[in-house]
Amino acid sequence: QWRGVIREYADRLPVTENTEVITLGEGGTPLVRAKALSELTGNEVYLKVEGMNPTGSFKDRGMTMAMTAAVEAGAKAVVCASTGNTSASAAAYATQAGLTCAVLVPDGKISMGKLSQAIAHGAQLLQVNGNFDNCLEVARKLAEAYPVFLVNSVNPARIEGQKTASFEVVDYLGDAPDYHLLPVGNAGNITAYWRGYQEYAQPWTNNAGVELAPVATKTPVMWGFQAEGASPLVKGHPVTDPDTIATAIRIGNPASWDQAIAARDESGGLIEAVTDTEILEAHRWLSSREGVFVEPASAAGVAGLLKKHAAGEAPSGKKIVITVTGHGLKDPQWALRTADGSDVEPTKVDFDVVSVAAALGLE
């Protein structure tokens, strides 16, 4: 029985045996072989399916650690700014912890699935008339001036929890992959993966002072992908008015800017942009060819591999892991449109077997 990421990786997290762990069973997510992508690119490609976490995104890995730290610090209330998944996760974990939760979301730019989660868990939901960056700025000021605990990924506990994903990849594959691809928005996740891969490739002393041998023999090359309309790390300066249909990564000034650049450079990797069209094509590729349903932003890493392959810039014969970060049910509207943008119409039939057989082409 999987016990959640803190208990599974207690040796490598800032907890003691007395820590009261707040968990919803997060982590232990599938590493699925991407057969179509492997065949197309001539690599061994795997998908780390983070939509299989309790609230449907990778945020739960960080939130179990942040909410555990909040309880340990005696907090009564938590706050976060979010494009949606962080607030969904914070609301669920705060409920599990018995804390009140305030969430600040950008005006109008949050998917219905995520909004429903924050509301279902009774979060105090404030729709700020600004974008995510404005929300994060005011959440940080609130936590400085009032007794509320900030659970955004500027809180180191979040990065600590999220680094467990790379431990799981190595534990499953037996070593680090050659490449790791993922979307980049506020850049907490690329920071966390790189930290996890580095820690697993070096000796580690646990909280009891026991030295653990390295688990991996190497670290992967990190390839991060931003939406072209929200790609400050590609442009080299903040984007004041970020715009993309991938609302989860519609962020103009990443909080983990320096750490993301360090992950790119120390790993010999890259951070590049993919267009909304490329993101939606990758979103469709995953659901129609790999059987994995993700929200648009989650497909940015796959869009990146398809783009690099088409440009003749992708490796071959390598082991590649791509993190797909959130479940498709978070934003189902994108699956209800055909490639040309028209709505999918269900085929109507009478309830007689001949009509059904004919409609299914069995006649």
Binding residues for ligand AN7, per CB under 6 A?
57, 59, 82-86, 153, 183-189, 248-249, 295, 297-298, 325-326
Please say whether the beta carbons of 185 and 248 come within 8 A: yes
In whole angstroms, how close is the CB of 323 to ligand AN7 at the nearest point? 8
In whole angstroms, how close is the CB of 189 to ligand AN7 at the nearest point? 3
Residue placing its CB nearer to ligand AN7 in the complex, 39 or 258: 258
State residue 167 phi and psi, 5-degree precision: -60, -45
In whole angstroms, how close is the CB of 59 to ligand AN7 at the nearest point? 6
SS3 23: coil
Residue placing its CB nearer to ligand AN7 in the complex, 69 or 80: 80
Cβ-Cβ contacts under 8 Å for 84 (sequence gap 6 or more): 105, 110, 111, 113, 114, 115, 247, 248, 330
Residue placing its CB nearer to ligand AN7 in the complex, 1 or 118: 118
C-alpha pair distances (Å), 51 with each of 47, 56, 193, 281, 296: 11, 4, 17, 19, 12
State residue 202 phi and psi, 5-degree precision: -125, 165
In whole angstroms, how close is the CB of 296 to ligand AN7 at the nearest point? 8
In whole angstroms, how close is the CB of 15 to ligand AN7 at the nearest point? 22
**How far apart are alpha carbons 152 and 186 in whole angstroms?**
10
**How far apart are alpha carbons 277 and 256 in whole angstroms?**
26
Task: Supply the DSSP string of 279-299, one letter for each residue.
Answer: HHHHHHHIIIIIS--B-GGGG
Please say whether the beta carbons of 54 and 92 come within 8 A: yes
**How far apart are alpha carbons 159 and 255 in whole angstroms?**
12
In whole angstroms, how close is the CB of 346 to ligand AN7 at the nearest point? 28
**Which residues make beta-bridge pairs with 103?**
80, 125
In whole angstroms, how close is the CB of 171 to ligand AN7 at the nearest point? 22
In whole angstroms, how close is the CB of 192 to ligand AN7 at the nearest point? 7
Residue placing its CB nearer to ligand AN7 in the complex, 72 or 137: 137
SS3 250: coil
SS3 149: strand
Residue placing its CB nearer to ligand AN7 in the complex, 179 or 193: 193
Residue placing its CB nearer to ligand AN7 in the complex, 23 or 253: 253
SS (H, E, C) 45-80: EEEEEHHHCCCCECHHHHHHHHHHHHHHCCCCEEEE
State residue 232 phi and psi, 5-degree precision: -60, -35
In whole angstroms, how close is the CB of 51 to ligand AN7 at the nearest point? 8
Residue placing its CB nearer to ligand AN7 in the complex, 31 or 356: 31
Residue placing its CB nearer to ligand AN7 in the complex, 215 or 245: 245
Residue placing its CB nearer to ligand AN7 in the complex, 116 or 205: 116
Please say whether the beta carbons of 200 and 167 come within 8 A: yes
